[in-house]
Structure 1
């Protein structure tokens, strides 16, 4: 059910401008029937200005009329057109790593490169919050601190969670399996079965050439022996 904006103000307006029952108003606004009764009696929401649910696009006049004709009917709110505008943009930015842990990134990179070569540089970069330049330097051992780098699990260093690491590995493994399957399928289509290429005539010609080679070798050996 769509959450009603300003439920008490909406209840005030419905109590003052419609003949809906307390239960219908309470159900629509997400309030208790006794609280709606208190609004009608003036004991609750004193000084609260009513909010027109029709004007703000949460309810239609026909919906109210239908509910007024049937006390058992429960109104359904309309999702406001501007509701999505209030949704925050949840695009993930670069992972922030505390300054105290940044010096351990090369150790984590070395561990990932050695133990999970299927991970792309982009995945490693997002996983531990580093740059592709640093990853390449560690892989090529051109990093300024290369002699002191010790491969260490990034999870134990606190640079990423085990869940994130497993998810990245699973995604990369699935991508590699798909690529290998596509290559295998393409190779099967390109190759021609052996039985189609090896015809009886070809086998006969091959056998004849082998016999000629054996005879040449045999007579050549005898001639060399007689000369000696």
Structure 2
């Protein structure tokens, strides 16, 4: 599979500006020959502007001339350093130092108690543990259950605060969406009513005041 940038735009330029075969262009751009034929016929990538691989440093003039002179020749692309930067970075499994591994059950219990909405798979990935261990802590079947107590994983140094906040936020958002889909209403928080304060002088004023027609029957307005 070719790793060049903008493969379709490059194919458009090669179709329009070279005598390369569809197979040569397809091999260089990582496309199917029929797709390159579609570009030549105007059925594919009709609105894509061609990108010159010679100008953007993905092909040398020598390679292009060799390919045009020999239809069996397959051009070799110059791998752009930008292509390496665009590759997704794969992170390995989280490693927890031996000195910290005994703290993981406490962190697991913290999740079980405080954030049950976080899935076990996410907890396992975050703490570098297994689903079996999480289940044993939850069900109190862990060999050290009597000594396990819920402790914030940030305090234990197993995870950073920002990373923890992100995991909890995503889990809460997902649960809220699922609840809304299932018709479960979230509790609405209402502000407590402020108490009405009546001063002693007001009580004396109302107690000694003579009733009037307006106070008894109300105003005509």
TM-score (norm 1): 0.45
TM-score (norm 2): 0.47
Which structure would you say has the larger Rg? 1
